[in-house]
Amino acid sequence: MSFNSLGLSDALLKAISKKGYTTPSPIQQKAIPPILEGKDVLASAQTGTGKTAGFTLPILQLLSQGKHLSHRPIRALILTPTRELAAQILANIKEYSEFVNLRSAVIFGGVNQNPQVSQLRQGIDILVATPGRLIDLQNQGLISLSKVEILVLDEADRMLDMGFLRDIERILKVLPPKRQNLLFSATFSKDIKKLAMGILHHPVQVEATPENTTVDAIIQKIYPCAKEKKTELIIKLITEGNWKQILVFTRTKQGANKLTESMISSGIKAAAIHGNKGQGARTKALAGFKDGSLTALVATDIAARGLDIPLLPHVVNFELPNIPEDYVHRIGRTGRAGASGEAISLFSPDETVFLRDIEKLVGLKLPKENIKGFEPDPNASTEPIKQGQGRQQRNSTPKAKSANSSSRSSNNSFGPRRPNQNNDRRSNR
């Protein structure tokens, strides 16, 4: 199948051709036709499979065919969980819309709102936004969503995981009831399916791959390692393997900073990216990583979605995620667009429960390889470290929430979720 057979306009086909694409990915083949027909869509696709183009291309076509108003109200709204993903989606929209008369913009927190407001006042057709900043501007009367025709929830599972449910509900209340709704995600939990039932109207469900699977092109390895030797091991892997580009995931912001400092002390050019970093620092770190001036980018799960790094060869889980779905997204930063990649996880005994949950989710027994001198003590405890010591304690009594967090979650009809200690939600407003 070619893009020509999907019913896309000549202007979009020209933009696609300019990017060098010839054959649509499975999710694009399945999602684009029903979206062009105006139907609601519930789509599941692995990260790195062209999901963004799967909804941006038909949206561009639908809007370009519609009636153009001189003041350009927002006609399509795309909600995403993180700044990085929002910026990446806008970049894709800009590329695909080169030959159509549509304007697009992105808004997110962590930066001065004035430039964003100025762009909105000039009139735009497509808005990409994180929920917090969108609500902030809407509350200030600086943005109107009364003319939205198409709503997209991208990485909706991550938005729920980061506590955005209440924000999503508030946004839905100010949107026109008659609109087209698209919900895209790499993973679907029961909570996501329940959310979809409340938003989508007779949706077409498309699935490019089995739920929660990992890309075949990714070589996955588990290196058992004593917890206190993980830093030494990752430095050894980078230096002896002469790795030039490696994305490393930690579970906490403090852990990312500490590991970055150790790498720099060992002569590895590295930077950390997480919610406590200002947007300027995050943008600079990501740019340096992409252009090769940095060897290692150490990130929390804020970077598991939205980072589009062509031909990234290595992803390392310095710590396994306590939410198993995050494993799928982390390693999905490599093995993208048909390229091969390697995902290595440094596994200490206290992460046994996390590894078990990950293997259950992906339906694989991940291969383990021992590296001499780094093996963990066979008698080491397999119990997760308690909260306040770097990891959550399973089945423990949760700490009391602050008044603010309680107010945001009190109407969560999906019930309690497992806490993610690396919750960067606020910093992504």
Calpha distance 185→167 (Å, rounded): 18
> Rounded CA gap, 210 and 186, in Å?
10
Where is pLDDT greater, at 349 or 337? Answer: 349
Q: List, for residues 107-131, the tens digit of each pLDDT value.
A: 998 889 999 999 999 999 999 999 9
Specify whether the CB–CB gap between 81 and 159 falls below 8 A: yes
Using one digit for the tens of pLDDT, what is the confidence trace for 18-74? 988 888 988 999 999 999 999 999 998 766 678 899 999 999 999 998 776 667 999
CA distance 132 to 426: 8
Q: How confident is the model at residue 400, as a pLDDT?
A: 38
Give the range with max mean pLDDT: 8-22, 151-165, 329-343: 8-22
Q: What is the pLDDT of residue 194?
A: 86
Q: Are strands 180-185 and 150-154 parallel, antiparallel or unpaired?
A: parallel
Residues 6+ apart with CB under 8 A from 331: 214, 215, 218, 220, 315, 317, 341, 343
- pLDDT value at residue 303: 60
* Per-residue model confidence (pLDDT) at position 212: 52
Tell me the pLDDT tens digit for each residue of 357-411.
999 988 889 999 999 999 998 888 888 866 444 433 333 333 333 333 333 333 3
Average pLDDT over residues 146-175: 90
What confidence score (pLDDT) does residue 334 get? 74
What is the residue whose two structure tokens read 């780094």? 374
Strand partners of residue 234: none
Selection from 132, 81, 73 nearest residue 105 by Cα: 73
pLDDT value of residue 17: 92
Instruction: Give pLDDT, residue 219.
Output: 87
Across residues 80-97, what is the average pLDDT?
A: 91
pLDDT for 306: 59
Q: What is the mean pLDDT of residues 262-268?
A: 96
What's the confidence (pLDDT) of residue 341? 82
21 or 13: which carries more pLDDT confidence? Answer: 13
Reported pTM: 0.66
Would you say the C-alpha torsion 3, 128, 79, 338 has a positive or negative sign?
positive
The chain-wide mean pLDDT, for the chain, equals: 83
Q: Residue 404: its pLDDT value, please?
A: 37
Dist. CA 196–CA 116, nearest whole Å: 30
Percent share of the chain, pLDDT over 70: 82
Within 10 angstroms of residue 292's Cβ, the number of other Cβ atoms is: 10
Write down all domains in the chain, each with its CATH number in brackets: 3-207 (3.40.50.300), 218-362 (3.40.50.300)
Distance CA 328, CA 325 (A): 5
Work out the pLDDT band at 272, boundaries 50, 70, 90.
very high
CA 57 to chain centre: 19
